[in-house]
Structure 1
Amino acid sequence: MFDSFLFDNWKNLLWIVLMGVIIYPTFLIIFRIFGKRSLTQVNMFDFIITVAYGNTLASILIIQSISYTEGVLLIFMLAVLQFIFSKLQTKFKPFWNLTKAKPIYLYSQGDFNQEAMKRERLKFEDLRSAVRKQGMVSFQQLDALILEGDGTITAVKKGDGSVPESVSDVMWKKKSEKTLK
């Protein structure tokens, strides 16, 4: 049972080394062809596809029943799907709305959005941490904290009192409500 725990055989190790040497440049070429968007994590779909790339690479390297050609086809197929989805997102607003998570206010002008915090399973400590990561020490320095569609929290520093254009699409409380202005 434990005879192959630390080492199985040289053939398996050689497979991993050789496959890694030829599949890595193939990954680079495919991602170069399909552009930078192939590796961004802008939304949930991008995150899922990025995880799929990693899982695919690991499978190609370790599972000897997957040939180089099959692995390249799989990587290529994922890149094509990513390309198609990103094109559909840019051309069709309903598709964009379906695949993109909307940003939402967690804090704005002294008011915490408790409903959104509860729905998104965030604690006050998470917001404090986000404020510190932005180099600020107090909520009084902020106009808003926004939970972005990719799950990051953005801090908007206090400005001249006007609502910045960059937050015009951010929702407050419920999806059905209008944006905060």
Structure 2
Amino acid sequence: MLDTILFDGWKSVLRIAIMCMLAYPFLIVLLRFFGKRSLSNVNIFDFVITVTYGATLGSIITSDKMSFADGVVVLFMLTLLQYIVSKLSVNSKGFADLIKANPSFIYHDGKFYEKSMHKHRIRKDDLRGKVRQQGLSSFEQVEAIVLEGDGSLSIIKKGDTQSKDALEGVERSDA
């Protein structure tokens, strides 16, 4: 039994090598054809597609129950559906509002947005770390901290901008 766990014959090794040489370049071409946004992690749907690409590619390469043609159809359909969702979100504000998370204030003008922090499971210690990563020593140097729709935190330094355009549309859930 140990011998089949370590090496089960050249047939499976050859199949994996061939599937790698076919599936990986196919995915690269597919993503280049559909554009840069396919792996941009702009919203939760983009993230899910990215993870699904990896899982599908892994299945194509390692599973003897999935043919290359099956894998191509799965990858193509995932990419096509993601492309349709991204086009609809660009062309329809209502659709975009439905699928994209809005940015939220976590900190603004010296005030922590406690309800928003609790809702998104963010601690002040997490924010302190982000502030330090920006090279700042205190919250007094921070105009705002925004939880973006993709889950990242943006730190706006005081005096960075003369205009507040970047903060338009950010939810104020504690106000």
Q: Which runs of 5+ in 2 are unaligned?
A: none
Matching residue of 1:119: 119
Q: Which runs of 5+ in 1 are unaligned?
A: none
How big is each residue's C-alpha offset from its partner over 1:78-102, in whole Å with a ceiling of 9 and x where there is no partner? 1100110001101111110010000
Q: Per residue, is there more helix in 1 or in 2?
A: 2
Aligned-partner Cα distance in 2 for 1:151–1:22: 34
Larger deviation, residues 3-12 vs 86-95: 3-12
Aligned-partner Cα distance in 1 for 2:129–2:109: 18
1:5 is paired with a residue whose SS is helix
Aligned-partner Cα distance in 2 for 1:6–1:132: 48
Shift of 1:158: 0.3
Matching residue of 2:40: 40
Matching residue of 1:96: 96
Matching residue of 2:76: 76
Matching residue of 2:105: 105
Letter in 1 for 2:79: A
Matching residue of 2:143: 143
1:56 is paired with a residue whose SS is helix
Shift of 1:134: 2.0
Aligned-partner Cα distance in 2 for 1:62–1:125: 42
Decide whether aligned partners of structure 1 residues 51 and 123 sit closer, same or farther in structure 2, where only a CA change above 3 A counts: same
Matching residue of 1:51: 51
Larger deviation, residues 61-70 vs 28-37: 61-70
1:137 is paired with a residue whose SS is coil
Shift of 1:10: 2.2
Aligned-partner Cα distance in 2 for 1:108–1:172: 9
Aligned-partner Cα distance in 2 for 1:53–1:145: 32
1:65 is paired with a residue whose SS is coil
Q: Which runs of 4+ in 1 moved over 6 A?
A: none
Query: What TM-score, normalized by structure 1, do the two folds share?
Result: 0.91
Aligned-partner Cα distance in 1 for 2:149–2:131: 18
Aligned residues: 175
Query: What TM-score, normalized by structure 2, do the two folds share?
Result: 0.93
Q: RMSD over aligned Cα, in angstroms?
A: 1.7
2:6 is paired with a residue whose SS is coil
Aligned-partner Cα distance in 2 for 1:81–1:114: 37
1:102 is paired with a residue whose SS is coil
Aligned-partner Cα distance in 1 for 2:118–2:42: 23
State the identity as a percent. Answer: 44
Aligned-partner Cα distance in 1 for 2:18–2:69: 14
Larger deviation, residues 42-51 vs 65-74: 65-74
Decide whether aligned partners of structure 1 residues 64 and 161 sit closer, same or farther in structure 2, where only a CA change above 3 A counts: closer
Larger deviation, residues 74-83 vs 64-73: 64-73
